Amino acid sequence: MSSARLILALNAGSSSLKCALYEVGDGGVTEVGRSQAEVHGPTADAAAVSELLAWGAGLRPDATLAGVGHRVVHGGLAFGAPVRIDAEVLAALKALEPLAPLHQPQSLAAIHAVTQLRPDLEQIACFDTGFHRTQAEVVTRFGLPRALHDRGVRRYGFHGLSYAYIAERLRALDPGLAAGRVIVAHLGSGASLCAMADGRSADTTMGFSPLDGLVMSTRCGSLDPGVPLYLQAHDGLTHDQLQDLLYLSSGLVGVSGMTGDMRALLQSGDPAAAEAVELFVHRAGREAAALAGVLGGLDGVVFTAGIGEHSAQVRALICERLAWLGLELDPTANAKGGEARISTPQSRVAAWVMPTDEERVIAVQTLSRLS
């Protein structure tokens, strides 16, 4: 039998469970293959995980699965780095479910499923919030009483596994830019921006929960706190109704009244669809300008995730709003797609498109914690 060791990286979403299988070698991890399974709710995760474990075993029957790494959206105050999962860690992660009600339960369901199916396996939790631990204390604060901050009511930031990958990839492709002032735009159904200085998070648009910041597919983004107070007082909305409104019925789908799919909105001739796209782009441009101020200038922008990687039109509209900073888009390069620099050679601000790879970061972080 082969002595090869494997790591399975699981990335739980609301409707699917993505995974990638990696072989451990002297130079780190090498991807073996990718798959995903449909998830119809937390109770279905055991079947999905079973399917993916069987897929991995069939792909490399000669090797040993050494451990499983999980993307966990919220690490709270306690977890700033990957951690081996045990009963105490699980209890702490479950307590964070109210801070990420759409994401945290799915990750925990996948962890429980692996425990049920393969109790012999080591499991490692890798946190989206961990990348942002480099931020200055003032960046993490709300204007609320200190006692609330001290108990964890503060800004955390998310999409950290994606940002960690982009920071590493940018160092390989353009090390000079990676050492400078860069805004990474993770634009997907969930969307955020991260201001990086020398590859480290200086600020980001998401805060206490994945609701904050940009307009998203079904999430509202930054919102005057007076709005939910008003809806609670005058419309009698309950906690659950407010949660559904802000997480599931707002953003692009709420403004357009049609869909949260950016591709469909761009193809629609409906004025409400155009208004939803305009709001998405406006907020992205506004937040990017604010982050440029935090960085004291801007050397580059990187677009990633579903919309960022695949929508040349959205990239062009956002770059147009950043032209005052010195960003000059190359329309031909932008239209081609794929991993590439899309700004002109003379542009003072570089612009790149880079596919992200959260699963690879999960695998690398998992390897660092396996016994």
Please list the active-site residues.
Answer: 128
Q: Are 218 and 276 in contact (CB under 8 A)?
A: no
Q: Which two tokens stand for residue 368?
A: 């660092």
Q: Enumerate residues 6+ apart whose C-beta is below 8 A from 125.
A: 69, 70, 72, 75, 79, 82, 83, 85, 89, 93, 107, 111
Q: Using CA atoms, how far apart are residues 41 and 95, in angstroms rounded to an integer? A: 19
Contact 7, 64 (CB under 8 A): no
Enter the DSSP assignment of 133.
Answer: G
C-alpha 298/C-alpha 234 separation (Å) is 44
Per DSSP, helices labelled H in the chain are 45-59, 87-94, 104-117, 146-150, 160-173, 175-178, 226-234, 239-248, 251-256, 262-267, 271-295, 305-310, 312-321, 331-336, 358-369
List the one residue out of 234, 239, 279, 235 whose CA is nearest residue 256: 279
Bridging pattern class, strands 200-204 and 191-197: antiparallel
For 181-196, b/e burial (b = at least 16 CB within 10 A) is bbbbbbbbbbbbbbbb
